[in-house]
Amino acid sequence: MEIAAASTVSVAPQLPRLTNAFSRKLGSVSSLSFGSLKRNYCVGKVSASSSVDVITADKISPASFLDKRETGGVLHFVKYHGLGNDFILVDNRDSSEPKITQEQAAKLCDRNFGVGADGVIFAMPGVNGTDYTMRIFNSDGSEPEMCGNGVRCFARFIAELERTCKGKTVVLTALWVVQVKVDMGIPILKAQDVPTKLPGNKGEAVIQAELVVDGVSWNVTCVSMGNPHCITFEFVEVLSRSHLKMRVWERGAGATLACGTGACALVVAAVLEGRANRFRDTDEMHGGSAWRTIRDRVEARRQPYLHDWSCRSCLLRISAALRGPSRSMTCRPSSLLFFWDVCVVV
């Protein structure tokens, strides 16, 4: 079997239009920064014994798979991941309706009967002056408002589509690696805007509030990074005031290997609860790639509930994020930044 950086899958020829379809304004792609772009091209050929031959970029055009266009009920897609939070990316720039339905997305995301992913992301035409918009369906087909790792993969995908990436070609492993940094905007704390039905207990914010579920009492802080998060430190390991580890259970996707908005929300909660410092040192912004070994990733997938990882990068701008009055996605000096490597799985 040959595996390339993109694949095709048959879909029903005529797709029903979504009734709740609307474009999500992301801010123009120019508001997304591409930090130290590094391209590692290769394509794996997997034989029956699963050995992998690496073909360098000199022998295959990295963008060639993106030249394919849908014909006759075939959907072309690319698989990207950020820290193991994986997505099926679809070039949907020629239509304001997603090329597949939410039900089809759920089938594609099935790890045994489909391609397998935490969600499907569509690169859509821009609206209201933006260059592009992104829509995403979770692996259960529901549609969230925002996705941190998804936005990073989306930015990388757009860069590939537009062929704007310039970088050195290095063959490393069966992955393309690039660091993509996104501006996550200002956290939303006002209870009704998160939204949560829990009443504000620190002004309008819900911080260390009691939440009773099935008779069990939890201590929670509610933070929105565009999508809502409920943080309880029963699921978080505070290694130091600058280093947290978390487990995540995502609405619509279950246990995932990483969650960008979740990591940012965690840091906000940790600072608000007095468990982590506000950081000012931006030098560290370029530090730290969260590489997992293949074995680690396989192990994490086997025991998804046991995995945890650091969200150190998110910690660095938290002081500014909490001080800033603006909620604009593009207000970088007072916003939270989330970055790490994004990989294209081949």
Q: Which stretch binds ligand LBFN2T5F (CB under 6 A): 48-56, 93-101, 248-256, 311-319?
A: 248-256
For residue 315, the 8-state DSSP code is H
- φ, ψ of residue 60 to 5 degrees: the values are -145, 135
H-only helix segments in the chain: 102-109, 148-162, 260-272, 294-302, 312-315, 318-323
> Least Å distance between CB 225 and ligand LBFN2T5F?
7
Q: Is 147 noted as a catalytic residue in this protein?
A: yes
Number of residues near ligand LBFN2T5F (by CB under 6 A): 17
| 84 contacts ligand LBFN2T5F (rule: CB under 6 A) | no
Helix, strand, coil percentages for the chain (3-state, nearest 5): 20, 30, 50
Question: Looking only at residues 204 through 243 of this chain, which bind ligand LBFN2T5F when binding is defined by CB under 6 A?
Answer: 227
* Integer Cα distance of 189 and 318 in angstroms: 14
185 touches ligand LBFN2T5F by CB under 6 A? no
Binding-site member from 43, 105, 207, 253 for ligand LBFN2T5F (CB under 6 A): 253
**Which of 42, 230, 259, 311 is flagged as catalytic?**
259
DSSP per-residue codes, 10-46: E--SSPPPPTT--PPP---GGGSB--S--B---EEEE
Q: Site for ligand LBFN2T5F (CB under 6 A): which residue of 40, 104, 130, 138?
A: 138
Q: Does 32 bind ligand LBFN2T5F (CB under 6 A)?
A: no
Residue 171 near residue 54, CB atoms below 8 Å: yes
- Indicate if 259 belongs to the active site: yes
List the structure tokens of 330.
């593009």
What is the binding site for ligand LBFN2T5F (CB under 6 A)?
85, 138, 144, 147-150, 227, 250-253, 256, 259-262
Residues that are catalytic: 147, 259
